Structure formats: C-alpha cells, structure tokens
Amino acid sequence: MSPVKASHTARERARAELTREITEEARRQLAETGAQGLSLRAVARELGMVSSALYRYFPSRDDLLTALIIDAYNALGAAAEAAAGPDAGGGPGGLRPRVRWLAACHAIRDWALAHPHEYALIYGSPVPGYRAPQATIGPASRVPLAFSRVLADAVASGELPVPGAAPVPGGHASLGGALAAQAETLAAALAASGASAVPPDMLVRAVIAWTQLYGMISFELFGQFVGSFEPADALFAYAVAHLAAFVGLH
C-alpha cells in the first residue's frame, strides 16, 4: 500500500470512529433531553471538541438528527428482517409465513423496549422544525418491506389467496373509491420491486395490522398500560396473533 493510500485509509478510519463517537453521545443526550433538546454544542462539549470541528461532520442539528433517525430505522429494520426471514428458525424447509410474521412483531417490540428513546425519535411526536430528507425513506421502508415479503411468500406457498381468486368476506370486494385505488397502486409497486403479487385487500389489512402493532408498542412505552396490562407480554402476544389472522395468516 502506498503511503498516500495508507494515510487516506487512516483518515477514513479516524473519521468513521469520531462519527461513531458523536452519534453515540448524541443518543445519550437524546435519552436525557429528547430530540428537541439535542444540541451540537452540547455534544461537542461532552466530547472535548470545539463546535467548529464537529460541524465538519454534521453541519447542523438536523443533519445529526437525520443520522440518528437513519441508524434507528436501520437497526429496527435489521431486527425485523432477521426475525421475518424464511430461515430464521433454522428448521427444515423454513418457517411458515405466520410464524415469521409473529416473530417480526415480537422482534420489533423487543427492539423498542430496549431502545425507547430511539423508537420515540422515529415513531413519536415530530420534532418541531425538522423535516426528514429523502435519505430516510429507504431505511424507513425496511420494516414494511419485511412484512410484505412474508405476505408474498404466503401467496406463493398458497397460504394466502392469489390475485384474482375469490375475495375473503369483507375483503377487496368491499374496498371502494380512493382506498381501492391506493391499494392497487401499492400492490403494483410491490410487484414491480420483484416481490410476488399480494392481493390489494391483504395489503390494506397488513397496513392496518402494522399501525396497530406500533400503537400497542407506543402505548406500552409511553405508560398507557400502567395499572392495567402491565407487563404487556400476554396482551401483546394475544393481539398480534389475532392481527395475523386478520391479515389472513392462519
């Protein structure tokens, strides 16, 4: 390796390490002050840096928030993907789609309970004045895409009805107007991405189940179950099992 290349590689490693230290300190402060209280100056002070040096890594607070948001989405997405993968259980022939769906739901909750402040950053109240850039879309899509792959595999294996089959009671036949058009557009987009086709009514049900999943997790994290369903393990397991059936995974 030439001296110039070696020096360049060393600088890259040093930059990556300092970037990691900055984001770790920012996550610590996020737990103490919340996203609204996050300050580049405070992060620099705790790391023994001058603010001008930190600005070379993150030009603004919003840039630092974006990095934290992307990291959180990616970490949550990785947890869901690992749980929802067809070979997650290591058994012969892979796991059934229903088992994979439920495993992903539990993995998302486990991650949220272990990282409540990061969960609140991506699924809590919006940060005033912050507007998420395009770079967050890909990481934010990892969880719903993991669920959609489970549904696609369920269709391919015959566990969900194939497109064009007779709709289940209350299914796509009852979708009307804007909802039907939106469901068709989403189904077409997923098919274009290479996934097996999923019936639009099942996608609508999946979106409902997805939002209810996050609603339950948010209720638990933000103390809404205190004095009633605490701990919420049994309620969560009961609910996600019924939501899986609602989607069509029996």
Mean pLDDT on 244-250: 92
Q: What is the pLDDT of residues 148-193, one digit of tens each?
A: 989 988 888 887 765 444 444 444 456 778 888 898 888 887 777 6
Do both 89 and 52 map to the same domain?
no
pLDDT at 225 over 70: yes
The pLDDT confidence band at residue 212, using thresholds 50, 70 and 90, is very high
What range does the domain containing 207 cover?
A: 72-247
Do both 93 and 189 map to the same domain?
yes
Q: Is residue 151 part of a domain?
A: yes
Task: Please report, in angstroms and rounded to a whole number, the separation of the first and last CA atoms in the chain.
Answer: 58
Q: Is residue 139 part of a domain?
A: yes
Measure the CA angle with vertex 224, ends 209 and 215; round to 5°.
15
Do both 45 and 87 map to the same domain?
no
The pLDDT assigned to 1 comes to: 53
Q: CATH no. for residue 77?
A: 1.10.357.10
Which is more confidently placed, 38 or 95?
Answer: 38
Average pLDDT of the chain, as a whole number: 87
**Domain C-terminal end among 59, 81, 108:** 59
Whether the CB-CB separation of 86 and 153 falls below 8 Å is answered with yes
Q: CATH no. for residue 15?
A: 1.10.10
Do both 33 and 135 map to the same domain?
no
Task: Write down the pTM of the prediction.
Answer: 0.87
Do both 109 and 42 map to the same domain?
no
